[in-house]
Every structure is written in C-alpha cells, then in structure tokens.
Chain A
Amino acid sequence: MSSQALLYVFVLPVAWLLLWLLKSARSRQLLLLITSYVLYGSFGLKFLVLLVGSSLMNHALGILLRRKPSLGRLWLGIAVNVALLGTFKYLPPFALLLPASSLTTVLANIVLPVGISFWTFQALSYLLDLYREEELDPSLLEFLLYMAFWPTVLSGPICRLSSLLPQFRSPFKPSQEDVRRGLDRICIGLFMTALGQMLGAGLHAGQGIDGIFDSSRQNFAGPDIWCLAIGYGFELFFNFAGYTHIVIGAARLFGFRLEENFDRPYLSTTPSQFWTRWHMSLSFWIRDYLFLPMVMLRRETWWRSCVLMLSMVVFGLWHKGAFLFLLWGLYQGILLVLHRQWQKISGRYEWHLPQSLMAPLCWVVTFCAICLGWIFFRANNLNQAFTMLRAAVTPGTYMRYTLPGDLFLLVTVLAAGYFLTVGAQHLLRKHAEAVTIPLEFRFALYAVAVYAGIFHSAQTQAFIYLQF
C-alpha cells in the first residue's frame, strides 16, 4: 500500500459525505473534480498540470469539431493527442537507441505521467464521437471531470463521455444496493490482487513468477515455460481485474456505474472471444475507432487480415513502446487471423466434431495460445522471450523441470481455484438466484479480503497497469 492509496482511503469518505450536502449538479461536479485533482496530484503536480492542459486543449478542439465536424479538425485533434502521448511514452525508449548526447539524455529521462494512455484515449474517443456527430455537449467543468474522474484516470476502464455525462448530471443518491455491491466489488478486487501478488512474489522469496522472470536463469524446460506463462497470465488477470473490481466498486459507492473491463476471459473458446472479454474498454475502443472504420474501406479478405494485425499491434504498443509489445500485438493478430481462416475452412467443408468434444478442445487451444503470448508481454528482453519459447517448442525439454515444485503447485491451485469459483458462481446463479448472504457473514468476508489485500500484501508489488 502506498501513501497515495492511504490518501484515497481518507479523502473519498469525506467527499462521499460532502456530496450528500450539495444540492446542485454543478457544485457536486466541482467537488468531484477537486477530489479527482487532489488524488491525481498526489502522484506529481507536473502530471496534474499536464492533465489539465490536455483537458483544456481537447475541450477547445471539441468546440471546433462541434461547430464544423471536418476531417481536418479531427486529424488535428488526433495528431495533437498522439504527439502528446508519443512524447511521454515512446520518445524516451526511442532516445535510448540514438547515439548518446545531451538531448537524448534529456529525452530518455522523461517520466511517464501516470494514466496518460488511459486519459488520452478517453480524449480521443470524445473527439471521434463528436466527428460522428454524437450529441455531446459537456460544459468545461464536465469535460475536466470526465478526463480526471478519480476512479478511471489512473488505469481505466477507458470510459466514453456518453456513458458518464448523464451520471455526472444526475442527483447523488447512492442506494443501499449501490453501497452493498460497491463494497462487494472492492473486497473481491482486494482478494484478487492479493492472489496476483502471491503469484508474483511466490511462497518463498525470489521463487514467484516475477522472481523467475527477473533472474538470469536460462536453462528452462518445457513444463517450466507453461508454468510461467499460465502463472503470469493469472497474475496479470488477478492484478488488473482485481484493480478494476476495486475502482468499479469504489465508483459504485458514489452511485456511478462504470463499464466492465473483464468477463471471465480465460473461459473463451476462441481468440476473438477472448478479446471481447479481456481489457474490454480498450479492446472495444480499438474495435470502434480503429478496426471498424478501417475495415470498411475495402472488402477483400487480405485487407481485413491486415487491419486486424494492425489493430492488435496498436493494442500492443498502447502498453509500451517496446519491441516485445509489438511482437505481442503481432502474435495476437496472427492468432485472430488464423482463427478467421479456420472458421472459413471449417465452414467451407462443413466438417464439425461433436460440440461436446469441440468446445473443450477449442478452450484448451485458445487458453494455451493466449497464455504462451504472455511470454512476450512479461519477458525482460527478446533473448529471454525466445529462450523461453524455444524451450516450449522443444519436445526434448519436457522430460524434466527446473522451477521449484512450490511454484507449480501454487499456479495449479490458483488456476484450478479460479475455474472452480467461476463454475460455482455459474451454478449458484442458475439454481439459487435469490441467495442472500447475512450482513454479519458479509462483514466477515470483507475482513478476510481486506486482510489479504491490504495487510498481507502490504510490502509487495503495486498494480501492474499503473506503469502503462
């Protein structure tokens, strides 16, 4: 837990109580904006200045677009935002590749403002929606709040103004159900982040997923790679989905409903399905503002495949301006294209396995393919990624394993535990819709989640997506 997290714990209850006292929507928006700026400013005043500057600039660009939604004005807006993001996100790693000079030293030391990828994409979606002549008329205050809104500004979900604006304007009346659901989501999130941190740190020092990736180890065996790939897949999922549960829950305490970011992604039976269930707010952003407009330009199959690949490369590079993320995007693009080709071929020959066999088989293939891709996402360098992938595709390495047995056990138990929980949840929803947990038992569960997420994990890593 960091100083900033402690600030959230103190500031948000005060803001929640004050909001009850304010009658007008405008004063409530102002209080939410001040709260958001105080919390965001705790990460650095320079970051706050940049956020305010970007918000004012995008609001002005929005006014221009509303007056006359021309392609030129849209491109101006896109260019300015991409330039801003590029300066902070892509210039520093690029500068490291250039010959050393005082300029490259300055560029390489530019600090990435927290959440810039998220709020820049929110700004872009606003401009693109205006170009499509959506009915959006935020006041300056509303737009500043949309850009800095405390639940979403750090690591998403990337929201659209059309979904938040009506909520900013509606009365502040969080119901008991909102509070209950909000607390539930926060506790689920805390518990998930604790599980993610357990995978990252391992049961013994240096023997978790992160410790192994960060070591100089080279002699991997096949089972090791699958343990690391699946383990990191779950670490990332527990960490990011846990964070998302916390922010969605915290927003719900205030009566706001944010878009979901995850929908049981590891149950997907195709790569396409996976990308409608993992980091959904970014996935849908790329689908709506990049893939669909481009794919409409031509009807040929090769063009569709190229756009798919390009979209996934952008998805990868959105995380970080690094070659490994480009490769990760390409890999996901190839999976999607292969899946489309497979659909075409199987459709043409009308050859199908029984569904009872096909569904588990598709799930296994998708799960393994997605997990193997996490190697590109997590590896520290190209050499490590290819060393690992080589071990994964070399049959001779499958007769041994080199990682601690504890780690295999931990990954297996947590992965199996996740699938069992999802299964149990499904059965409960199906057969016992009206299950209510007594308040006392609910508080006991909250305590376990708070202990696991805050006290037990106090000294381990932070949220992974804060670095993007």
Chain B
Amino acid sequence: MRWCLGLVIFVVVLEVCARVDDVISYDAPFWGKYDDDILLQKDSIGKWGRPGAHYAKWQLNSLGYRGPELRAGSIRIITVGASETFGLYEAPGEEYPRQLERDLNTWAGRDVFQVVNVAFAGETLPTAILRVPQIVEQVHPSYALIYPDLSSYIWMSLKPANAPANQAEAVHHQEKFESRLSVRVENLLKQTLPISIQDELRKISMRREIASRHYVILDRLPEDRFEHFRRDLRNLIAELREHGVEPILVTHATIFSKPLAEGDRISLTHWRKIYPMLKEEGFLDMERRMNDIIRQTALEEHLPVIDADEEMPHGPKYFADFVHFTTYGAGVMASILTDGLEPLLAPPLRTAEGSTQSGSLAQTDSAGSSREQ
C-alpha cells in the first residue's frame, strides 16, 4: 500500500517539477493550460498572433509577430508563409527570417534591413491575402518574401465532415486538465526511440486514423487543388502590389533528395501521418507541380523567384522533418535568400545610404516610424 502511495507521489511530484520548470524557464502559469494556443488569438479572418505572447521558446512582439519589435528607419521585408517560416525546431532567434536579417545587414555593413516574420504555423494563402492590409498598415514593408505552405491544399476539399479546416484550427475547446509531464514523456520518447520503431508507430496511427475517419485515399492531389493554389498565389501577389509591396517568390524546399535517399521513406511516412489521405508519392508530385506553378507565376507576373527547391541541400542536417528546418538548415536557407535578394536590394540600399548621408534615414520608413519604439 505504501509503495502504491509512493508511486502516486512520484508521478505527482514529476508533474509539479514540470510545472515549476515551466514557471522558471518560460514564466508560464503554474496552474491552467499552457500550450502553443496561447500564442494565437482569433478574429474575423482567423488565427492571428497575440501581441506580446510567449510560449516556450517562441516570443511574439507587440504586434503579434515572431521576432523583435520594429526598428524605425529600416528597409522592411516581410516573410509570408506557414510553420516553415514561423520556425519550429530552430534555436530561438535562429529561424530563417532572423538569420536572413543578420545576413542582409552584414552584407549592407550596417543595420539597415529588418525582416519581419509575419508567418504563423498553419497559415494558408487565402488567409494571408486577407491579412495583407493589416500587415501593411502595421509594418510598412517594401518587400514580401512568399514561401507558401503547399500541404494546406490537401485539407481544403478532402477533410472529412468532422475534421478541422487545417492544422492551425485544430484547437481544443475544452479547458480540461492537461498533464505537462505527458508532453515531456512524449518528447523524450521521440528523441530516444529508434527511428524504425517511430516509423512503425506512425504507420499504425495512420492506419487507425484512416479507418476511423473513412478517408478516400488519393494517389495524387486533384487537379483543381493546383488551380486553386495558382489563383491564390496570384491574388496574394495582386494584393501586395496594390498595397505597394514588391513580392518575391520562393519555391518550397523539402528534406527529400531527387531521387529519394535512404531514410527519405521514413520522412514521407512522417508527413503522411499528418495528411493520411494522400499517398506518399502524392506529396512529391504535389511539391514538384506546385513549385512549377510558383516558377511559372513568377515568369508571368515578371517577379523575381528564388529557387530554394533547387538550391537548398536535402537531408536531415538541414531539415528536422519533411519540410521544417534545423538551425543549420535555416542558416543555409537564409544565405540562399540573401544571395537572391542582394541584386534586388542593392538599389534601395544605395538610396538609404544617400538618405543617411543627407541625415534622413528615417525617410525609408516615414509612414510608420511614429508608432514604433
């Protein structure tokens, strides 16, 4: 009996330790819910960053964007995208927008550029289009790097009746007790279980999901999804242009080598676990075709395109999973973007230098500087 009580005490103290750890490390509340939902709030358009929110390593600024506060007198570039851009696995301050800003300022020789990360995990192109006026009013960007999330198009028409619209909307509506210890146990197992066992577990979970939700399994994404993507991309470009922002397209990079390398199958299974209705080969086809659409759109719209899909090396050194960067990978991505942006940014940089010499650097951002710190 005493041993049973001892075991209960053991588990309870572990849970208390997890909560105290959160309080000390992240200034989290001891009681109540503490997960990444606290980063977001909902408005008429959808999910949106909560100003000043922070969860674990993620910190949003006073406008609700990941990263530091806006700096007056800088040439601003916004990064539009989803979780790949928001940053998941990188060390804090090492997501590619932050590294890009450092690289650009090193190239410029002074802190003249500011990259504002306006992406959120699960952000889709349709919601990004609706957000443009708000972003432009707050940030006054000169350029927008568009690094779209392609897989959101899988959910659009294929979701079952009881499934959420996309990953970001899969929110918990009930305020119930959630063990913070269980999250740590899960993370620990992810780190320590051999990859092959994790792969098998994912397959089992995927089969259960398919059986319980009665998904129709597709070999390839239907043609209308690609058209939808093309239309959304064009609308976003038009919306940005209308607000005086110059779009720059970036093709989507993945961990997968061409042809597939050893170990890529495991990453494909990992991807499919999130979108069980599309077969593994369907993801590769989707990536290839949507990247072609990005290139073609850039050509038709006379826009610069940075071909991250071609230039980004593949493999686990650069990607923590199928599409999300490691800290190192984010650095490589940032340098690819810097190389692509340098010719485009040279003229505004010269203008800014001229302004500095005449003592009015703040003119590069005259409209918004009064609101900023």
Enumerate A207-253 residues with CB–CB distance to B below 8 Å. Answer: none
Enumerate A19-61 residues with CB–CB distance to B below 8 Å. Answer: none
Residues of the B chain whose Cβ atoms lie less than 8 Å from the Cβ of A454? 188
A450 contacts partner chain B, Cβ-Cβ < 8 Å: yes
A415–B9 Cα gap in the complex (Å)? 30
- A451 in contact with B17 (CB, 8 Å): yes
A447 contacts partner chain B, Cβ-Cβ < 8 Å: yes
Nearest chain-B residue to A455 (Cβ)? B184
- B9 in contact with A451 (CB, 8 Å): no
- A6 in contact with B192 (CB, 8 Å): yes
Residues of the B chain whose Cβ atoms lie less than 8 Å from the Cβ of A6? 189, 192-193
**In the complex, per-residue mask of A429-440: 1 if CB is within 8 Å of any chain B CB, else 0:** 000000000011
B12 to chain A, nearest CB (A): 8
Residues of the A chain whose Cβ atoms lie less than 8 Å from the Cβ of B339? none
Residues of the B chain whose Cβ atoms lie less than 8 Å from the Cβ of A452? 17
- A450 in contact with B14 (CB, 8 Å): yes
Residues of the B chain whose Cβ atoms lie less than 8 Å from the Cβ of A448? 13, 17
- B10 in contact with A447 (CB, 8 Å): yes
Chain A contact residue count (CB 8 A cutoff) = 22
- A455 in contact with B188 (CB, 8 Å): yes
A443–B7 Cα gap in the complex (Å)? 7
> Provided the pairs A451-B17, A455-B18, A455-B184 are in contact, do residues A3 and B10 lie with their beta carbons within 8 angstroms?
no
A250 to chain B, nearest CB (A): 17
- A444 in contact with B91 (CB, 8 Å): no
Residues of the A chain whose Cβ atoms lie less than 8 Å from the Cβ of B9? 440, 443-444, 447
- B3 in contact with A439 (CB, 8 Å): yes
Nearest chain-A residue to B20 (Cβ)? A451
Residues of the B chain whose Cβ atoms lie less than 8 Å from the Cβ of A456? 17, 21
A442 contacts partner chain B, Cβ-Cβ < 8 Å: yes
Nearest chain-B residue to A42 (Cβ)? B194
A252–B3 Cα gap in the complex (Å)? 20
A355–B12 Cα gap in the complex (Å)? 50
B: interface residue count bin? 20 to 34
B110 contacts partner chain A, Cβ-Cβ < 8 Å: no
Enumerate B169-225 residues with CB–CB distance to A below 8 Å. Answer: 181, 184, 187-189, 191-194
B2 contacts partner chain A, Cβ-Cβ < 8 Å: yes
Residues of the A chain whose Cβ atoms lie less than 8 Å from the Cβ of B17? 447-448, 451-452, 455-456
> Provided the pairs A439-B2, A440-B2 are in contact, do residues A451 and B188 lie with their beta carbons within 8 angstroms?
no
Count of A-B contacts judged by CB separation below 8 Å: 62
Pick the contact of A3: B2, B21, B92, B193 (CB < 8 A).
Answer: B193
A444–B13 Cα gap in the complex (Å)? 6
Residues of the A chain whose Cβ atoms lie less than 8 Å from the Cβ of B3? 439
- A451 in contact with B21 (CB, 8 Å): yes
- B188 in contact with A205 (CB, 8 Å): no
B161 contacts partner chain A, Cβ-Cβ < 8 Å: no
> Provided the pairs A439-B2, A440-B6, A443-B9 are in contact, do residues A458 and B188 lie with their beta carbons within 8 angstroms?
yes
A5 contacts partner chain B, Cβ-Cβ < 8 Å: yes
Residues of the B chain whose Cβ atoms lie less than 8 Å from the Cβ of A2? 192
- B10 in contact with A459 (CB, 8 Å): no
Pick the contact of A5: B2, B5, B10, B192 (CB < 8 A).
Answer: B192
A446 contacts partner chain B, Cβ-Cβ < 8 Å: yes
Pick the contact of A439: B6, B191, B194 (CB < 8 A).
Answer: B6
A361 contacts partner chain B, Cβ-Cβ < 8 Å: no
A1 contacts partner chain B, Cβ-Cβ < 8 Å: yes
Nearest chain-B residue to A446 (Cβ)? B10
> Provided the pairs A444-B9, A447-B10, A447-B17 are in contact, do residues A205 and B91 lie with their beta carbons within 8 angstroms?
yes
Residues of the A chain whose Cβ atoms lie less than 8 Å from the Cβ of B194? 3
A455–B180 Cα gap in the complex (Å)? 11
B185 to chain A, nearest CB (A): 8
Enumerate B1-33 residues with CB–CB distance to A below 8 Å. Answer: 2-3, 5-7, 9-14, 17-18, 21
A1, A5, A440, A455 interface centre (most CB from chain B within 10 Å): A455
Residues of the B chain whose Cβ atoms lie less than 8 Å from the Cβ of A443? 6-7, 9-10, 13
A324 to chain B, nearest CB (A): 28
Residues of the A chain whose Cβ atoms lie less than 8 Å from the Cβ of B181? 455
Nearest chain-B residue to A444 (Cβ)? B13
A268–B8 Cα gap in the complex (Å)? 42
A458–B184 Cα gap in the complex (Å)? 9
A454–B187 Cα gap in the complex (Å)? 12
Interchain residue pairs with CB less than 8 A apart (14): A1-B188, A1-B191, A1-B192, A439-B3, A443-B6, A443-B10, A444-B10, A450-B14, A451-B18, A451-B21, A454-B188, A455-B17, A455-B18, A458-B187
Per CB-CB distance, the 3 closest pairs between chain A and chain B, nearest first, are A447-B13, A451-B17, A443-B6
For the complex with contacts A1-B188, A439-B3, A440-B2, 4 further pairs of A-B residues with Cβ separation under 8 Å are: A205-B92, A448-B17, A456-B21, A458-B184
- Residues in chain A within 8 A of chain B (CB atoms): 1-3, 5-6, 205, 439-440, 442-444, 446-448, 450-452, 454-456, 458-459
